[in-house]
Chains A and B, each alone.
Chain A
Amino acid sequence: MRALCWTADGELAVRQVPDPELRNDHDVIVRVRRSATCGADLPLLTGQAPGLAAGDVLGHEFLGDVVEVGAAVRRHRIGDRVVVCASVACGACWYCRQGLPSCCDNGSTDPSTSEAEWGHPVAGCFGQPRAAGGFAGSHAEYVRVPYADVGAFPVPESVGDDRALFASDAAPAGWLGAEAGEVRPGDVVAVWGAGAVGQLAARAAWLLGAERVVVVDRHPARLLMARQHVGAETIDRRNADVTAQLRELSGGRGPDVCVEAVGGPAGEHRSLADRFTGRARVPEAVREAVYACRKGGRVFVLNGGVRHVDAFPAGAVVHKGLAVRGGRQHGQRHIPMLLDRMARDELRTEYLATHHFPLDRAAEGYALFRDRPQECVRAVFTPH
């Protein structure tokens, strides 16, 4: 089959690779209908992707049709149109049973790898370096889905491919930001980042009863989308004092909930000097959120690219009594609800699929997504 691969020289290219096969009894094989770029892929494209090997297939936000079913699969039949959670979780460990599937103990073929990185194993993910589980990505004609009864969900007939696609990753991530940030009726909510994840976090905040939602970014076109499609107020950080504006928009109190959903190669624009020395900057958005947030408020960090950070304003957490949390999406728990809302038109996501490419031009799609974010929010690949 054809698939978008990482090549030996650090480039992306569509290659012929052998078809995936059932490896465990709970697997299915999905014939991919749509597969999208995600902000979380951008750090992989910087030329120094630790752990990626030549021939690794990228992509984790996808939907398709079931074409093969493992012996122990109960909920899927050949021909089902399914959306698949981008992260891989077992559904049977203590964390999964607590409703925290992204903390799954069994989502990786070698849990000791992420254990070494973060102290504990975390859920796997498709299309990432092998340390993320050992699962090939979805920018391909076919993909193997482990724990299919837990992570794949039938799509209601009335929900189109371009809408359902985002139930895989961006929508559950945005939902998590608002839900775990404990958005309550009447809240003022600020979201940093107007990518697909940030916009869907803003939408989720409305659905949970927020009264004012503000989105911060540096790309006017993305902010325009957030106004038009989400009904949010926006702040263009290139020409605004973000903290001052947020204070003004919240009657001097500060937002009740701050969701950080920023992305980009290192989560930030980096100066030439930073790039040269390899130094990572303090994450501007998390710091801003902690300063801006009202006393006793909640800061929720979704940014998958934050790694090790120093000079963090920890004093604000103490003196203002903040709750600072983070998380990866719990699609296994949220996708059925999100599909339901999609079917009821409460959640319209197809506008985020700004660009479609046949799989053969996927490398071009990534270049557009990376280099021209002001016009491309998601490049969506159609392998067939």
Chain B
Amino acid sequence: MGRFGTVVAVAGALGVAAARAARTAVTRQRARPARRSAGWQVVTIDRPPEQVLPAAVWPEPLRRLDGAVEVAVRRAPGGRGTELAARPRPHAAWPGLAAHLVGDDPGLLVRRTLWQVKQLAETGEVLRADRMPGERGPVVPVGTSPPPTDGRSR
């Protein structure tokens, strides 16, 4: 099977343009197999492409970046699942929530999103952190009035 022999065309939520972009990216990738240049981020997901992008619909974490990224998919060698790549499109308008998250490093947002897609595909959930001290409410010396709890510890 060729390097990108089993590209899953990514249409669905993205529309044809994006799918074409993905294919173009794939073609270019073929010429430079060693490294993904120009901001490509890639993760390997231990599931077959059909499962990673069922019916070529983007999974939720990626859908948040709709229109702002190009996506490419190929089967990983050695039965290791799917290589999922994405990169920001030049001059992308980041949709909705992504616009808040992107900050000044779109590459990092794309990377984090790919990890989330991977977690979701492999484990069925996106892992959430414990609430950190500030988010959980006050941290106070023992003996002073305790912060609100669900009553478990009393």
Contact = CB atoms under 8 A, between A and B. Distances in A.
B152 interface: yes
A105 B129 contact: no
B123 A92 contact: yes
Interface in B115-140: 115, 118-119, 122-125, 127-134, 136-137, 139-140
A318 interface: no
A360 B108 contact: no
Nearest to B78: A94
Contact of B147 (A18, A26, A72, A94): A18
A106 B129 contact: no
B119 A94 contact: no
A308 to B, nearest CB: 23
Interface in A39-64: 53-56
B29 interface: no
A17 interface: yes
B112 interface: yes
B80 interface: yes
A90 B119 contact: yes
B140 A67 contact: no
Contacts of A93: 46, 118, 122-123
B144 interface: yes
Interface string A268-300: 000000000000000000000000000000000
A108 B119 CA distance: 10
Interface in A130-144: 130, 133-136, 141-142, 144
B142 interface: yes
A16 B147 contact: yes
A23 B130 contact: yes
Given A14-B142, A19-B150, A26-B124, 17 more contacts: A2-B142, A2-B153, A5-B139, A18-B136, A21-B131, A23-B129, A53-B132, A92-B123, A94-B44, A105-B43, A105-B122, A106-B123, A109-B128, A109-B129, A112-B115, A134-B130, A142-B152
A248 B58 CA distance: 64
28 contacts: A15-B141, A17-B133, A17-B136, A17-B147, A18-B137, A18-B148, A19-B149, A19-B152, A19-B153, A23-B128, A23-B130, A55-B133, A67-B152, A90-B122, A90-B123, A93-B46, A94-B81, A106-B127, A111-B115, A112-B115, A121-B115, A130-B132, A134-B130, A134-B132, A135-B129, A144-B130, A147-B123, A360-B142
A340 interface: no
Main DSSP-derived SS at the A contact region: loop
Contacts of A26: 123-125
A25 interface: yes
Interface residues on B, range: 35 or more
Chain A to chain B: the 5 pairs with minimum beta-carbon distance, closest first:
A55-B133, A134-B129, A1-B153, A55-B139, A23-B128
B111 interface: yes
Nearest to A19: B149
A130 B150 CA distance: 25
Contacts of A54: 133, 139
Contacts of A141: 153
Given A21-B150, A141-B153, A16 B133 contact: no
Interface residues of A, number: 49
B33 interface: no
B77 interface: no
Contacts of B46: 92-94, 97
B77 to A, nearest CB: 12
Pick the most buried of A26, A56, A112: most chain B CB atoms within 10 A of its CB.
A112
A80 interface: no
B146 interface: yes
Given A67-B152, A97-B46, A110-B112, A16 B139 contact: yes
A121 B127 CA distance: 14
A15 B149 contact: no
B130 A135 contact: yes
A24 interface: yes
Given A18-B136, A55-B139, A92-B46, A106 B122 contact: yes
A172 to B, nearest CB: 22
Given A5-B139, A16-B146, A136 B123 contact: no
